[in-house]
Amino acid sequence: MAIIESSDHPQRVRILGVPVDCVSMDEALSIMEGFVKEGSPHLVITADSSGIVQAQTDPELADLYEKGHLVTADSSGVVWAINRRRKCLQERVSGVEIVDRVCALSADRGYSIYFLGAAPGVAEQAAEQLRLKHPGCNIVGARHGFFPSDSDPVVAEEVSKFKPDFLFVALGIPRQERFIASTMDVIQAKVAIGVGGSFDVHSGKTKRAPKLFQRLRLEWLWRLLLNPTKIAKVKLLPRFMLMVLGEKR
């Protein structure tokens, strides 16, 4: 596998043993542009509280976090946990926002982007909305994410034809990270990022929380109100907070 072990990351903080990089959105974008210049495949992970809790009992997922060339703080819970340890982060660096900002960069600099994941039609719709928002944004392909895991190699071959600079994979945690790690040698995207439910948001399928909920850091509550099946995931948040509070600073 072409993933190199991440070692000297001065900005790296460990939350419950999981590495997360204390970087702002602008810094994350500039690191990713550096990855594109390097040219080899890179794995970027957007870490939220549920993923960090899952990694406690899923050694394969824990290993993937270690292999992430960049691990950003996707949720307010993770920002809180980082700042408890080292006051260094002002903002979340979420998958939803990364998708938007990379599309803006693409419109400016021509980076090619592939959208993989979400229900049939959603990735295409998200691509359409983002092309409207950022005219010239170079989205070269989109494909839905409802395929069995044993078709991963076939899907990887399909995506590899586009040789994208950026590959956004929206299959949910931990499937998207597993997909990226097992196919990155074939696909050769310079930056591959797991972006969870981002296409649902950008396509308009899921509405983003109103500004008030965002300001109060209650986006999780908004998502729960819209989709009560998310309760299993939301229940991990208090568990995450208790585990972090029990951890030595």
- Whichever of 41 and 197 has its CB closer to ligand UDP, that residue is 197
Report the SS3 class of residue 144.
Answer: coil
Number of residues that bind ligand UDP (CB under 6 A): 14
Q: Which of 181, 161, 179, 45 is nearest to 114 (CA)?
A: 161
Q: Which stretch binds ligand UDP (CB under 6 A): 27-35, 86-94, 124-132, 167-175?
A: 167-175
Q: Which stretch binds ligand UDP (CB under 6 A): 35-43, 106-114, 164-172, 237-245?
A: 164-172
Q: How far is C-alpha 99 from the chain's CA centre?
A: 9
Residue 183 CB, nearest approach to ligand UDP (Å)? 15
- Whichever of 102 and 173 has its CB closer to ligand UDP, that residue is 173
Distance, in Å, from the CA atom of 49 to the CA atom of 81, rounded to the nearest integer, reads 9
Residue 223 CB, nearest approach to ligand UDP (Å)? 8
77 part of the interface to ligand UDP, by CB under 6 A: no
- Give strand ranges (E) for 111-190: 112-117, 138-143, 166-170
Site string for ligand UDP, 191-230 (x = CB under 6 A): -----xx-xx------------------------------
Q: What are phi and psi of 230, to 5 degrees?
A: -80, 5
CA angle 227, 98, 209 (to 5 degrees): 30
The footprint of ligand UDP on residues 87-126 (CB under 6 A) is 117-119
167 part of the interface to ligand UDP, by CB under 6 A: no
Site string for ligand UDP, 134-163 (x = CB under 6 A): -----------xx-----------------
Which DSSP symbol is given to 40?
A: S
Cα torsion 38, 6, 28, 2: sign:
positive
Cα torsion 97, 131, 199, 186: sign:
negative
Residue 168 CB, nearest approach to ligand UDP (Å)? 11
Contact 95, 74 (CB under 8 A): yes
- Whichever of 36 and 224 has its CB closer to ligand UDP, that residue is 224
What end-to-end distance do the CA atoms of the chain give, in Å?
Answer: 34
Reported residue count of the chain is 249
Residue 246 CB, nearest approach to ligand UDP (Å)? 24
Positions touching ligand UDP (CB under 6 A) are: 117-119, 145-146, 170-173, 196-197, 199-200, 233
